[in-house]
Each structure stands twice: as structure tokens, then as C-alpha cells.
Structure 1
Amino acid sequence: MKKSFLLISLLCSVTLIFAQQAPHFISPSDVYSLKQVKDPTVSPDGKWILYGVSKADSIKDAFSTKLFMVSWDGVETVSLTEQTKNPSSYAWSPDGKYISFMASPSKEEKEDHGNQLFLMDRRGGEPVQLTDIHGEIQSYDWKKDGKQILFVVKDPNMADTAKSKIRKPYAIDRYHFKQDYEGYLDNRKSHVYLFDLASKKLDTLTKGTYDEASASFSPDGNSVVYVSNITESPDRNTNTDIFVIDVKNNRSVKQITTHKGGDFSPKFSPNNESIAFFKSISGDAYNAYDQPQLCVANVKTGDIEVISSSLDRPITTFTWAPDNKHIYALVEDDRKQNIYSFDVHAKTNSLVTNAEAVFSDLSANDLGQMVVLYSDPHTPNEIYALDGETPRKVTKVHDEFLAGLKSIYVKGFKSISSDKTIVSGILYLPDSVSRNMPLVLFIHGGPVAQDDYSFDESRQILAGAGFAVAAVNYRGSSGRGFAFTKSIYADWGNKEVKDIIGAANYLIKEGIADSSKLAIAGWSYGGILTDYTIATDKRFKAAVSGAGSAFQFAMYGSDQYVLQYDEELGAPWKNVKKWIDISYPFFKVDQIKTPTLFMASQNDFNVPVIGAEQMYQAFKHAGIPTELVIYPGQNHGLSIPSYLVYRFQRHIDWFEKYLK
């Protein structure tokens, strides 16, 4: 009897262990398991790679970041900041002996001064606070000799200095007066400062009524480059130009660019003679659909060459090669993002990688050793090093997590819209043989962005719950050229909806989707397009509209896009018909049949909560099944792990209720 009992107990234990280890589809609770690898940077000697890893803490219900370094060959990994709370903006000191990062001081060390710069020995030990700067540090850059650090600092906020901790009333006089995550905007400015490590003194390099940003040293340390908008009314345009300060001699300032659009992200060449930077195609005061061109300016002559003119694709990041003749850059192209090499003098380019994947966060040291993040549909970001121009995997952060997952089937597709436009998409299925399934069109925001061949947690969770899920790079998306992106200018909810419906029709025709079980969801512009689509096509049986809007009149003055509205649409009282046209979901509520779950973030200034509230109220009035979810204290992007889990689960529950 005892032997039988022991045998049964053993079998139960084995069964339980097997069940715990059996692969499963990714689910909402995996928010707590999935890590985010961030911002790799190579040490000056090329022996180590510094990077961050962010992970959800289920007890604190918050994400925390820790720093690590891994050897160039990937053999050894060292944890660096176990006790430091969320270090950011980390970098190597020029001699490679120390690691600098931004972090909040402890309360006894004047926490009210905001984040400060810390320094720690890479071999171990506690970090030491290096600065006590009054103001908000925006960025910093080391001088090559390691004796000085360049800071961009925003003026101190004098509105929160009262002992009572009660903020002074907001007194506002700006045209652009609010911004998500920042809140209501005041007139404080950001300027460039020089910090001497020996004396701990801060020397002012710029001052006045304009903001300066993106400041960095030339390799020889004799010059500083930065960007600034010095137009008469910077709030009324997106112009930025590039300037150089002679810090060695008389601190004279030379303006390098005069383009009416944006010139930004400047980087000196290794020989100090040139500056590479991004330039907008358009010279308009504001153009939401622009894409960056890669340019090089001769510092002495001021001559500027566009070296990416033959490539009609967005360039997202670049780094100089040590030979001063080439620049490596990341380029978006139809669901992919690969590494390109640009010949500065010939103005030609060539692919370094050509994968159905996404390379991101490219950086290099002075020796030309490059590191990059790599992700594909089955792999979250890992660090890759380039041996010459050949990528090699260095980290294995996600191996354990992926070992417990059943793989989602992912493939690209192309559909044809009613006006014959070819549109690219990505399909996610529980397996390769799935057919006649309930379909969720999960629409990206932006609109200037693209769904790509990286690991997509959101869509894979929905596919794992038993849905066919489609991403659609509708017109207005990036990665297909400037004309494709700008084609929706002042014509919202028209071409994009044709593309979304065209993708649904294609997947129905291919036998993937059940035409009687269609759903749509999205966040931000994806939520806006959800509203547009259900107001156009009555076939959709369920929708989740996140951080969206439909009565666009209500957005004027309540969100952060006043400049876009004035430039692209005209003021509402001057162009009433246009504003009515782009608000058609609100005016067609009585014609909508789709049960819709609306979501919004309480503190969102990007797409304010009123966008969801108005549609929810209209649906309630019209008797359409609806619910409203408000995420307390959140901005446009959710930052609390439990809210992310809740959002995923609410999508699944809503679609199961109306589709299955």
C-alpha cells in the first residue's frame, strides 16, 4: 500500500514538473518575465560592451533597469549596478576605467536636485556622485582627455521650491504650451555647460532665450557642436540648425546650416574636419511625414552634401568609420531595418546586412568596433558585435525565456487596396496550418512608423490566445519612401482605412480569416484608425480603441499637436469642413454597430483622455455595447507592469466575448 502511494506521488510530481516545463504560448503574465536589453556601447579598448537590462518587478509593480557588461567574445558577463535605482544615459570614461551614468541621488543627498551624474570603477565598488547641478541634466558628453564633461542643462524649476511642496499656479504664455511626459511647458531654457572634473566647476558655454541640445565635443576637444532653433518664434516651427563653438580660443560660434526644416543629431568625423547630421526633406514649418536624410558638412568651408539622396528611406542612427570616408547607418525598408555603409565622397551606399529582422541602437568606439541590437520575429533584442561587417551574437539574455515558449508562426504578406495600392503587412498565427480563424487587425500608431520583423510581444500574445493577428503598414507608415508616408497629408481616415480593409479582404480570400469574425484594435493613431475603420465597415464584430480620438475638434488646444493642426489642417474655425471630414466617426456613431472597448491614460497630453471619453459617451447614448478603461496617472505609454498585463488580458477577453 505504501509503495503504491509512493509510486502515485512520484508520478504526480513528475507530471507536475513536466506541466511546469511544457512550452506555452506567450501570454499576458509574461510581461513579468520578458527582459528588455538596451543601448549597448563598446569600451574604448574594445574588450567590453556596456548595456542595460530592464525587467518588471512584480512586487513593486514597476520596471527597473540594471547595468551589465559583457566581454567582446560574449564569454563573461558582469553585473554592475545591483543597488542603484534605474541608472540611465550610461557611458564609458575615455580611458575605459570608469562607467558614468545618470541616477537619482538618495534623499540625504539632495534628491530634489533631480538626476545627477555618477561615476563607478568598472572593476567594482560603489558609484560616486560626480555632480550636484541645479537644473535638469538633458545630456552629457566626455572630452577625449577625460578632464572635462559637456552638459546640456535645463534651467532650474523655481515653481516647486516652496517648503509646503505646493506648486505655484501655472502661468502660461506660450503657443505650444503642453507636452506629454513634461506636462505644461514654461519658459525655462536648456543651455550648454562645461564641467571640469578636477575643480568640479561648471562653466557656461551658451546662454540666452533659445534652447540648445545634442551637444558633443570634436575628437580633438577644440570644438563643440550643438543644435538650436533661433527663429523668431521657435514654438511655431520645427526648425533646428547646427552650430559650432570654438572652445579652445575665443569661444566664437559658427552657424553650419541654414535649412528652414530640421538639421539635427550632429557628429564630428574622427579627423575633426566634417560633421555628419540628419536633415529633413521638407523645409515646411511642420511636416509630420518627413524622413531624415544623411548629410555631411565641411566645417571650414560650410559646404554640405546629402549623401543618402539616392536612397528614399528613413535613416535612424549612424556612426562614423575610423577612415573618415564611410558612415555606417541603420535604414528602415519595408518591415526591415538593416545596416548600410555610405561612401561619403561617392555618395553611394551598400547593404552590410540584409535580414528579415531589425537592427537598432548601432554604436562604435574610436577603433571602429561596432555593436548593435538585433531582433527578429522569434527573438527579442540581443546584442550583436560586428567582426568587420559580419554580425555575431554576444548576449543570451532571452535564451531561458524563449526555451519555455511555443513559437508563433510569423510571415509577411502583401495586399492590394481598392485603389490598387500595394500594402505590406505581417501575419501572426498559432501555427502554420491555422485557417478560417477569427482575425484581429492590430494597427500601429504614429502614423509615421512601421510594423517590422522584430519580436512583437503584443501581437504574439493575441495570436497565442487563438486569433489570427495582422499588422498593416498602411499609407502614412514609414519604410516605403517619403511619398508613401506623406500621402495621407490632411486626408486622415481615408487611404489608411482602404489599406486596412484591403488587408482584411486579402486574408479572408486566402482562407486565413473568418469573414464573420473580424476585429480591430490599436493604440494612439492605431486607436484613431480603429474608430475610422468601424465607422466605415460594419463587418467588424469587436474593437478596442486605445488612446484614440474621433471628434478631432476637441483635440485642438488639449493635446500637443497645435503646430501640426495649424500647418496641415488650418485652424478649426477657419477650415470647418476639413475638421468635420476628419471627425466622421463621431458624426456617424448612429451607423456604427461594432462593440468597442475604449482605453485611455489619465495624464496623456499626446492623445488626451477626452478622445476616448467622448466616443464612449456617444456609444452609450446610441446603445452600442461599450466599456471605458482609464489608466490612472499614466502618460501616452503605459509604464506600470500590472497595467500592461491588464491591457493585454482585456483585449483577449473582449475579443473572446464577441468573436468566439
Structure 2
Amino acid sequence: MKKTITLVAGLALLAPAALAQAPAKRPLQLSDLAQMRDVSDAQISPDGNWVAYTVAMADTAADKRNADIWMAKWDGSQNLRITTSKDSESKPRFSPDGKYLSFVSSRGESAEDGQAQLWLLNRAGGEAEKVTKLKGSISDYVWAPDGKRIAMIIRDADPDSLTQAQKAKKKTAPPIVINRFQFKQDVDGYLNKQRQHLYVFDVASRKLTNLTPGNYDEHLPSWSPDSKQLVFSSKRGDDPDRHYNYDLYLIDAQSGAKARQLTTSELPDSDPSYRSRPAWSPDGKSIAFEQGGPRELMWYSVHQLVVMPVSGGTPKQLIASLDRNTSDPQWSADGKSLYFLLEDDRAQHLAKVSASGGKVERVVAGPREISEYEMGPKGKIVVVNSEPQQPDEVFALEKKATLRPLSKQNDAWLGQVKFGAVEPIQGKSKDGTLVSGFIIKPVDYQKGKKYPTILRIHGGPVSQFGYGFAYEWQYFAANGYAVVVSNPRGSSGRGGDYTKAIFADWGNKDTEDVLSVVDYAVQQGIADPDKLGVGGWSYGGIMTDQVISRDKRFKAACSGAGIGNVFAGYGTDQYVRDYETELGRPWEKPDVWMRVSYPFFHAGQISTPTLFLCGEKDFNVPLLNTEQMYQALKSLNIDTELIIYPGQFHGISKPSYVKDRYQRYLAWYNKYLMPKGAATAGGQ
């Protein structure tokens, strides 16, 4: 049956600046990776006059990422860099009286033994002061409303690791002793008895008190309005490694206090994976939080906005009829409404609803991704917002839902480069399911000309490609390629049924779905059907393996941190709970495991030259999985290469390696998709 494709109504999403008045712009280049600034974590001062935020960018000399704290005046008249050290600072927070700007940093610590400590910067002047000297590391913290104490989540130091002094003496490291069900975690490495606990830090005396000693991990603390209690999220029971059931607990903020369990359902409440902190109502009588779905659905379920009394009772889902993910609840000052982030098809909006439930109001909507927001005094709100041709920046929310720029960190750079048009599309999959996506046209696109085209596939699988800026898309567009991306079944943003459609059935419906946008690009006369490439990272790498083992139209592939033989994943990565929940134990349900391992056991059907890439220390989707697929193609005499990035985890972070990866992507695609001698615009 012939597939048909439909196009979403609407124009291409244009650059924010008026092109007629702008100077001549150049295509995007690899050197622009060092120019881009990542803006995040906006915080409003207590008087509402300033907004602190974090700016991260590549330090090419040191070959690492470095983050600094900046402040913007509310009226937009000033942007000041507050920290300038060669080490990163993050999590800027104002003390409730506005006297201090606090942050977390490992500055001054040795490179290998450095732990994130708390620093206080007196806004009246002077240098920042390191106020903690921990063997462990601070992962999260929040000021009490009265400003006298700070709640901290501190991870224990690794008892099996060697200090720098011990390494200098060449002391032999002790054996790693493992006895946990989940014993691996990307970045953290092998898991032993290390836990992270809830502490309270007294600002005046500098005294630190552990409120929750024990064999559990605590997350996302939030203070009561009277500064007497804390609510936090924790997994407990005989063996927390074996389940997903996060619950909320209340504890008095004093030594020796015992935590009281607040939520008791089997649904995960404030799962830290989603970084959605529970929020107290202004009167201290209710708590709003994010609640996940049934255990058996894991991340395939929709996350709901829930409110329950502090005194106990039944949690109430405020917008159960809305089949979309919600996160980050924050109360209005009068306690009558709740603001939250609402994920929808390719977008993420700021929304609000009555505290008693009812109709959802989209406060800031449109083709955009609002990744964060913060509420301040006198109804002031800031958001971190990204659009297809604008990276994340901080904006003040004005009346009539307009956004006024505050940070402007990327404005100068954006004035120099030109981007390919980003158009929203919908493809129709083999069974008629509509699949949302985008097509990114080459920078110098000419109507009627066919272009080599790359299908890029997102990770997750439960995530989505959205209206935010994507360097990768624009890099390929600058080098003469059209790019097509989609949100196949398994993606978020389209409701629970759409997400769970690939449960225990990877590579089947989602392969058909990603191919639908390729069909669209060919049908529209944009994509050259004889010059198609494919690639992705993580689940995008998994899907790349699935696609090339099921479809021979692709002439080149780049598979990053994927797995083709899921049998090999059991017991080698961090997903043992997830595997057993979704697929069952491999010796009990080998047919299910064989089904999702299709690429490896059908490697003989692959003819696409494939570049494989992975981080050496990846515990998320370990290197051995990539090695197996590389070895299979090498055995079959298919052109292939394996690139291993030393010391890197699942996410490649070292700037020189990030640049190297893009160079290799482009070289591999050019080898098979670009006519010999064809010039590219942005490959330098």
C-alpha cells in the first residue's frame, strides 16, 4: 500500500532578527561550538530587581566545559558576570533576605578528589567564601524561607577510592566489593554503600546536621513556609534497588527527628529523574508534586500534577483528563493557582490551573521549548526559553504572554551565522498513525533541487524532538544536507498510548514511524532517495541499528552508544530493573529478548556502511554493545569503523571530543552521500 504524507499547516520558523537589516551572515561552522553559550537555572532576587543564571561554554585551552554565574537586571539594562574562576560554578540561589548569592563549586579542589562545596558571596562586596568542607559532594540545596538554614542533599564519599595523596604514594586500590541489586550507574561507576542524605546547614554557626542517616537516598527537599519542616522524595523498603516507588516524606528540621511517610501509593511521587521538586502551598497546608504511572509502565506512563494535604489523605490529580506530561509545580502567591510546565507535541509550555483543578490555561504557548521557569515577588516570572533558531536564554514574562529578553548571551554570535529553515511536518506511518517531526532545509536551499538527506533519531526512547535550537541539525544543514527528524511511537508529548506503543517491542512500529518522515522528504522533492543517511545516539543509536537491519535504502549510518544484542546488556549496565520489568528475565522470556535484539541476530541483512561511536566509561549503554555490532559488520566485510572516546561516559562532554564527533559524522556522511569534490559550507 502506498504511504501518504501530510504537512502541518504553517510557515517555516524564521530567525528572530530582521534579516533585511542584518549584516551578511555565514554558515555555521565547527568553531561555533566554542562560541555557543548554554544558559540555565534562572533565579529571581527577593526584591525582584535581579535575575541570577548560569552560563556554560567550552574552555578550549583547558579542553573542558566551564560554567559561571551571571546576573541580569530586571529592566534588562545590565548583565554582569559574577564568577570568573577556571572552575565551574552552578546552582545560583539568593538568600531570602537578598544578602547572599550562594552557589556550588569544586573550585580550589584537586581535579580528581574535588567535591562540590557550598559558597556564599556577600552581595555587599568581597570574595566568595567556601562554607563547607565535605568529603562528600553537594548535589542539591535550598534555603529555608527564614534564611537561617539551608537544606542540602550530600552524597557520601566513596570509601573505596584513593585520595590524591594515596595515589602519589602508589598505594594499591582495594578490591571493589559489590552486593547491591543495581550495582552500576553512569558517571557514578560501581555502586557500593554510598548514599545521599538530607542535611541541614546552619548559616550562622556553619554547623551541619544529618537528618536522614541510613541505607536510603534522599532527593528534592522543599521547606515548609514556616521553615520548620522539610518534604523530600525517597525510595525505601527492604531493597530500594528493586523498585521505582518513590514516596514523599516529611521531617522536622532538627537533629534526631524521624521522617513521616506522606504518600503511600505504589505510584512514583517526585521521581528525581524528572527533577520536579515538590512545592508547599503558601499557607503550609498542601503539597503539590509530580506523580508517575503504574510500576509496570515505568517511564512509558504520563506524569500528572497532584496535590494532597500535609495532614494526610488522598492525593488529587488536578488535570487527569489531560493526557500530557506535567512537571515543576509552583504555587501562585495567593495559593489559588498552580503553575507548571506542560509538554505537548514538539513543544513545552508554561501553564497554570486552579488549585482545585479545572481548565488548563497556557500562559506561554507557541512553537517553543520552555525548559525552566521561576516565580518571584509581585507576580514576576522568568523563563528559560528556546526556539528553532535561538538557543536557551532567560526571558521576563510580560503582560499578554510576551517574553522580554534578559540574558542575551548568544545575540552577538547569532548575528554572524545563518541557519536552515526548520519546518514542522507530519508523516503518516505504515498503519496510518500520524508522526510529528521536522524538516531542516539546507542553508542555501533552492526549491526544486534534491539534496542528500540525513534522518536523525532521538534518544530515550521516551523524549521528543521539540521546537528548541539544535546545533546538530544546523551543522548538517550548513554543509549542504537536508535533515529530517521525527517523534516516533515511544516518544513523549503525544499521550500515554502513543508512548507505550513500543513497550517490549523496540524497532518495530518506531522504525516505520521514523521512515515516514523520510518518505515525506522524498515525496516533496527535497530528499534525494539515492543519497540517504541515518544516525542517532543512545536509543537513537539503538534505532539506527534497527533501521539499517530492516531497510536497505540508507547509504551511510552513524550509530552512537547503541545496543543491537540486548541479551548482552543484562547485568552489564544500569537498567536491570527496567529490563526485568519490561522484558522479563532473559532465561524466562527469551523470545521477547530475541525480538528486541533483532539487529544483531539479523546482522546478515545489513548492507549500510556504519560508523560506530561510544564513550569508554559508558555504564548507561556500555561500550561492549557497540563493539558487538562493529565486530558483526566487520565480520561481514561491510565498511565500518569504531570510535572510542577515552574517559567519557554516556554523554560526550570534553570539547575536543565533541568537535571530533561532529567531524567524523560529517566525513562519514560525505564519503557516501556527497558527490565527489562537492564543497561544504561549514565543515571547518
1:105-124 matches, within 5 Å, as 105-107=107-109, 112=113, 114-124=115-125
Structure 1 residues 538 and 161: CA distance shift in structure 2, 3 A = closer
Structure 1 residues 371 and 538: CA distance shift in structure 2, 3 A = same
Whether 1:178 aligns to 2:180 is no
Whether 1:460 aligns to 2:474 is yes
Deviation track 1:139-180 (CA, whole Å, cap 9, x = no partner) reads 211112221111222233222356523432210011100010
1:112 and 1:530 map into 2 onto residues whose CA distance is 38
What is residue 290 of structure 2 aligned with on the other side?
Answer: 278
1:241-640 matches, within 5 Å, as 241-247=247-253, 251-264=257-270, 265-284=277-296, 287-388=298-399, 389-430=401-442, 431=444, 433-434=446-447, 435-640=449-654
Instruction: Report the more deviating stretch, 90-99 or 415-424.
Output: 90-99
2:410 and 2:216 map into 1 onto residues whose CA distance is 44
Counterpart amino acid of 2:509? Answer: K
Counterpart amino acid of 1:173? Answer: N
| Aligned-partner SS, 1:188 | coil
What is residue 145 of structure 1 aligned with on the other side?
Answer: 146
What is residue 66 of structure 1 aligned with on the other side?
Answer: 68
Counterpart amino acid of 1:424? Answer: S
| Aligned-partner SS, 2:515 | helix
2:255 and 2:672 map into 1 onto residues whose CA distance is 71
Counterpart amino acid of 2:208? Answer: L
Shift of 1:244: 1.0
Counterpart amino acid of 2:239? Answer: S
Deviation track 1:323-343 (CA, whole Å, cap 9, x = no partner) reads 111111111111111111111
Counterpart amino acid of 1:115? Answer: A
Taking only aligned residues, the RMSD between alpha carbons, in angstroms, comes to 1.8
Shift of 1:347: 3.1
The question of whether the paired residues in 1 share the 8 Å contact of 2:186 and 2:619 is answered with yes
1:396 and 1:113 map into 2 onto residues whose CA distance is 32
The question of whether the paired residues in 1 share the 8 Å contact of 2:88 and 2:107 is answered with no
Structure 1 residues 167 and 301: CA distance shift in structure 2, 3 A = same
What is residue 32 of structure 1 aligned with on the other side?
Answer: 34
Structure 1 residues 551 and 393: CA distance shift in structure 2, 3 A = same
The question of whether the paired residues in 2 share the 8 Å contact of 1:80 and 1:122 is answered with no
2:139 and 2:208 map into 1 onto residues whose CA distance is 15
What is residue 14 of structure 1 aligned with on the other side?
Answer: none
Whether 1:190 aligns to 2:196 is yes
Deviation track 1:107-135 (CA, whole Å, cap 9, x = no partner) reads 59x99462211101234421111112332
Instruction: Report the more deviating stretch, 611-620 or 42-51.
Output: 611-620
| Aligned-partner SS, 1:54 | strand
Structure 1 residues 258 and 577: CA distance shift in structure 2, 3 A = same
Counterpart amino acid of 1:379? Answer: Q
What is residue 231 of structure 2 aligned with on the other side?
Answer: 225
The question of whether the paired residues in 1 share the 8 Å contact of 2:294 and 2:301 is answered with yes
| Aligned-partner SS, 2:386 | strand
What is residue 75 of structure 1 aligned with on the other side?
Answer: 77
Instruction: Report the more deviating stretch, 216-225 or 204-213.
Output: 204-213
Greater relative CO, 1 or 2 (CA 8 Å, sep 6+): 2
1:644 and 1:514 map into 2 onto residues whose CA distance is 29
| Aligned-partner SS, 1:83 | coil
Counterpart amino acid of 1:632? Answer: P
2:83 and 2:207 map into 1 onto residues whose CA distance is 27
The question of whether the paired residues in 1 share the 8 Å contact of 2:305 and 2:327 is answered with no
Structure 1 residues 353 and 107: CA distance shift in structure 2, 3 A = closer
Counterpart amino acid of 1:520? Answer: V
Counterpart amino acid of 2:416? Answer: G
Shift of 1:22: 4.6
1:210 and 1:44 map into 2 onto residues whose CA distance is 34
What is residue 168 of structure 1 aligned with on the other side?
Answer: 174
Deviation track 1:247-267 (CA, whole Å, cap 9, x = no partner) reads 479945332111212101311
| Aligned-partner SS, 1:125 | coil
| Aligned-partner SS, 1:401 | helix
Instruction: Report the more deviating stretch, 135-144 or 248-257.
Output: 248-257
The question of whether the paired residues in 2 share the 8 Å contact of 1:80 and 1:124 is answered with no
| Aligned-partner SS, 1:287 | helix
The question of whether the paired residues in 2 share the 8 Å contact of 1:25 and 1:408 is answered with no
Shift of 1:246: 3.0
Shift of 1:195: 1.5
1:503 and 1:28 map into 2 onto residues whose CA distance is 27
Counterpart amino acid of 1:135? Answer: G
Deviation track 1:416-467 (CA, whole Å, cap 9, x = no partner) reads 0111110001110125544421110011110111001111101110111111
| Aligned-partner SS, 2:617 | coil
The question of whether the paired residues in 2 share the 8 Å contact of 1:44 and 1:367 is answered with no
Shift of 1:73: 1.0
| Aligned-partner SS, 1:471 | strand
2:402 and 2:426 map into 1 onto residues whose CA distance is 30
The question of whether the paired residues in 2 share the 8 Å contact of 1:547 and 1:636 is answered with yes
What TM-score, normalized to structure 1?
Answer: 0.93
For structure 1, the residue ranges without an aligned partner over 5 or more in a row are 1-20
| Aligned-partner SS, 1:470 | strand
2:34 and 2:255 map into 1 onto residues whose CA distance is 54
2:476 and 2:252 map into 1 onto residues whose CA distance is 55
Shift of 1:301: 4.1
1:112 and 1:592 map into 2 onto residues whose CA distance is 45
Structure 1 residues 301 and 178: CA distance shift in structure 2, 3 A = closer
Deviation track 1:176-230 (CA, whole Å, cap 9, x = no partner) reads 0001011000122222222112222222322222222211211211211111112
2:404 and 2:352 map into 1 onto residues whose CA distance is 18
2:303 and 2:157 map into 1 onto residues whose CA distance is 32
1:608 and 1:386 map into 2 onto residues whose CA distance is 43
For structure 2, the residue ranges without an aligned partner over 5 or more in a row are 1-22, 271-276, 675-684
The question of whether the paired residues in 1 share the 8 Å contact of 2:57 and 2:67 is answered with yes
| Aligned-partner SS, 1:160 | coil
1:336 and 1:279 map into 2 onto residues whose CA distance is 21
2:109 and 2:667 map into 1 onto residues whose CA distance is 43
Whether 1:206 aligns to 2:212 is yes
Deviation track 1:539-573 (CA, whole Å, cap 9, x = no partner) reads 11110001111011111111111111111111111
Shift of 1:597: 0.6
Structure 1 residues 161 and 591: CA distance shift in structure 2, 3 A = closer
| Aligned-partner SS, 1:586 | helix
The question of whether the paired residues in 1 share the 8 Å contact of 2:563 and 2:621 is answered with yes
The question of whether the paired residues in 1 share the 8 Å contact of 2:87 and 2:107 is answered with no
1:1-20 matches, within 5 Å, as none
What is residue 19 of structure 2 aligned with on the other side?
Answer: none
Counterpart amino acid of 2:461? Answer: P
Instruction: Report the more deviating stretch, 126-135 or 612-621.
Output: 126-135
Counterpart amino acid of 1:658? Answer: Y
Q: Size of the alignment, in residue pairs?
A: 638
Instruction: Report the more deviating stretch, 563-572 or 201-210.
Output: 201-210
